[in-house]
Each structure stands twice: as C-alpha cells, then as structure tokens.
C-alpha cells in the first residue's frame, strides 16, 4: 500500500496483500457485461431520480440547523434532507433513543 492511504493502519494477511498489489498493478479485469452495466446504470438513475415533491413543516430552529450543516457539507439543504431521508429508509441510519427505560 502507498503511504498516506487510509488503509495504512490495517494489518493485511498475505492473501489480502497480494490482492492489493494486483489491484494496484491493474491486474484485474471487469467481468461486468454491457447488459449488466446498463442495468446498474439504470438502477443508479432510478435511485437518485427526484420525481415527487413534498411539503413538510419543521421548526425554524431545525431548518436553520439543517442549513448550517448543509453549508458545512457544501451542498444545498434540500439535498441534505433528501439524503438523510434516503439513508434512513435504506436502513443506513437508525434512530437512537434519547434515553432508555430501565428494565
């Protein structure tokens, strides 16, 4: 691995090291057929297609916090909101209870 890579701190076994060396030497060929490539491309387009509009009411405090966060991320706040909602319904975000009732 090259110095500065994020994987520098991960210990790899000999098989994993060989995979990394082969990858970096461009020894891998894609097995993606043109038909499968088109299916994947269309799935990506459909995933990010914004074809519905919604109106929601949120507190001005939350909206301002979302706008600040979006500004820090370098994106429009509507895009941030859509991304958070998408990640939540995709199971990549989970609600964290503020407190738990002792059992």
Q: Contact, 75 vs 66, CB < 8 A?
A: no
Does any domain span residue 84?
Answer: yes
Structurally, how many domains does the chain consist of? Answer: 1
Does any domain span residue 50?
Answer: no
Does any domain span residue 76?
Answer: yes
Residue indicated by tokens 């990010």: 48
Does any domain span residue 4?
Answer: no
Per-residue pLDDT at 6: 60
Which of 11-15, 45-49, 90-94, 96-100 shows the lowest mean pLDDT across its residues?
96-100
The residue-averaged pLDDT of 48-67 equals 91
pLDDT at 24 over 70: yes
Domain span including residue 79:
57-93
Which of 3-7, 31-35, 93-97 shows the lowest mean pLDDT across its residues?
3-7
Does any domain span residue 27?
Answer: no
User: Helices then strands (H, E): number in the chain?
Assistant: 4, 0
């Amino acid at each position: 691995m090259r110095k500065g890579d994020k994987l520098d701190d991960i210990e790899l076994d000999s098989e994993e090291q060989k995979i990394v060396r082969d990858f970096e030497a461009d020894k891998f060929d894609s097995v993606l057929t043109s038909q499968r490539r088109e299916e994947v491309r269309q799935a990506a387009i459909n995933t990010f297609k914004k074809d519905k509009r919604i109106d929601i009411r949120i507190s001005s405090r939350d909206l301002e916090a979302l706008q600040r966060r979006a500004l820090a991320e370098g994106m429009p706040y509507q895009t941030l909101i859509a991304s958070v909602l998408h990640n939540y319904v995709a199971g990549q975000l989970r609600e964290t209870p503020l407190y738990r009732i002792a059992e």
